[in-house]
Amino acid sequence: MLFAIIISVLLAFFLAKNITKPIKRLTQKASLLANGDYETKIPINSHDEIGELARTFDYMANIVTTSVQEISQEKSKLEKMLMYMTDGVIAFDLNGDVLHINTVAMKMLNIHEDEVINFDDFFEQLKARISIAELIYLENENTLTREVDLGETILNFYFSTFKDEQNKLSGIITVIHDITESERVDKLRHEFVANVSHELRTPLTTIKGYAEMMQTDENQPQEHRKYFQVIIDEVDRMTNIVKDLLTLTTLGTNTVLDNREYFSIDDLIKNVIAKFAIQIEKNGQRLTYAPTTELPQIYANKGKIEQVLVNIIGNAIKYTPNEKGVIEIFAGNVYDSVYIKVHDNGIGIPQKDLSHIFDRFYRIDKARSRDKGGTGLGLSIAQEIIALHGGSIKAESSVGKGTQFTINLPISIE
């Protein structure tokens, strides 16, 4: 019995050793794999379960090695691309910590390599009026943009969220454009347009005055009076263009935002509608207004916002057939902004023209626009005013079915 016990112990010892030894090797291999050594193989040639486990482990290590190499190559490519980009790029996680920043962004923002920055704190210092909370709330919206004047340079920031493989919100990507030179050129262009517009006002006034005087001259034949009326009408059209050009040039100054006040957007919409009441009745159209939520007071330039509404609603009336013409206005409050929608069942805008309607002097139908007194600057002015207030304006349209303009305005910007 003693001999049998000794034999059993020896057999158990050798069996345990044969089992634990390959398991230790597997443990060592797992440790090496975790530390980045993907080349070491497990020297186990047995055909039992332990051998099968070792071969499976080696196969897994090969798969991991291939995946890591592919990820490393993609990472290297991405880093090279970011390094040689002319635009700055910063990636933040949801806590606002920097995941990646390229050298261009560091140079643009004067950030040192060892400097630690946080999204909210950093952009608050830049007065960019943006926060992680706002971006997370608007994760399904388009890219948000902010312009920041740093004195010697002017930077445009584009903010967008990105998601991981499970489609979960993972962080924020920020792309930075240096627009200093384009802003300088744009300023020169504004000054040129302003100077030319001022110079044109005097001769236009003179021409109109002489034309009106000649038209009222009793010695003039009736046919000549018609010619003078054409001159007067064209001068009036030119005067309107000059007036709109001067408006555009002044929008680049601080006068728009300097003259802000708190006012009821609901009351403003009702006042604008009242101005068109006679025209609506004369045309036989129907204009309705329905606020979808309680509207707060907003802090903006009341006169300029009224100008935008007059332009958008006026266009809806102008390009909607008199018979069965319906213009619907909706307004509501979402988060920290208000929206205004102006929908009509008018002639609509062709898709090829839709992306250009906010361009200066762009007309869809030049003959019709001229006949209706359009200058091609109204929507450009509207877009400039809304952009100055930190808002947005967009148009959706279908030919023969109508058009909808949507205006979004922050309740207040500082």
Q: pLDDT tens across 397-412, in order? A: 888 888 999 999 998 7
Q: Which of residues 39 and 152 earns the better pLDDT score?
A: 152
Q: Are strands 392-398 and 326-334 parallel, antiparallel or unpaired?
A: unpaired
Q: What CATH topology corresponds to 257-410?
A: Heat Shock Protein 90 (3.30.565)
pLDDT surpassing 70 at residue 413: no
Lowest-pLDDT range of 107-121, 245-259, 308-322: 245-259
As given in the structure block, the two tokens for residue 363 are 């007309």
User: What DSSP element (H or E) covers 380?
Assistant: helix 378-388
Every domain range in the chain assigned CATH 1.10.8.500: 2-80
Per-residue model confidence as pLDDT tens digits over 40-96: 666 666 666 666 777 777 777 777 777 777 777 776 666 666 666 778 888 899 888
2-80 has CATH 1.10.10.10 classification: no
The mean per-residue pLDDT over the stretch 147-173 comes to 86
pLDDT surpassing 90 at residue 369: no
* 3-class DSSP state of 189: helix
Every domain range in the chain assigned CATH 3.30.450.20: 85-178
The mean per-residue pLDDT over the stretch 193-216 comes to 84
Q: How far is CA 380 from CA 360, 375, 394, in A?
A: 6, 10, 12
Per CATH, the number for 182-251 is 1.10.287
- The packing angle between helices 222-251 and 378-388, to 10°, is 20
% of the chain at pLDDT higher than 70 = 82
pTM equals 0.55
Residues 6+ apart with CB under 8 A from 119: 92, 96, 97, 131, 132, 172
Instruction: Provide the pLDDT for residue 45.
Output: 61
The residue with tokens 């309740």 is 411
Residues 6+ apart with CB under 8 A from 344: 316, 317, 319, 320, 325, 326, 327, 328, 402, 403, 404
Average pLDDT over the chain, rounded to an integer: 81
Model confidence at 367, pLDDT cuts 50, 70, 90, reads very low
Dist CA 264 CA 388 (whole Å): 19
Bridge partners of 395? 405
Cα–Cα nearest to 279, from 372, 182, 406, 388: 372
- Asked if 327 and 285 count as a contact pair (C-beta separation under 8 A), the reply is yes
The mean per-residue pLDDT over the stretch 216-220 comes to 79
State the sign of the Cα–Cα–Cα–Cα dihedral 192, 195, 200, 201. Answer: positive
Instruction: Provide the pLDDT for residue 273.
Output: 92
Give the total residue count for the chain: 414
Every domain range in the chain assigned CATH 3.30.565.10: 257-410
Model confidence at 252, pLDDT cuts 50, 70, 90, reads low
Every domain range in the chain assigned CATH 1.10.287: 182-251
- Asked if 160 and 173 count as a contact pair (C-beta separation under 8 A), the reply is yes
Q: How far is CA 23 from CA 26, 31, 150, in A?
A: 5, 12, 63
CATH class of 85-178: alpha beta
What share of residues in the chain are helix, strand, coil (percent, to 5)?
50, 20, 30
As given in the structure block, the two tokens for residue 237 are 């059209």
* 3-class DSSP state of 36: coil
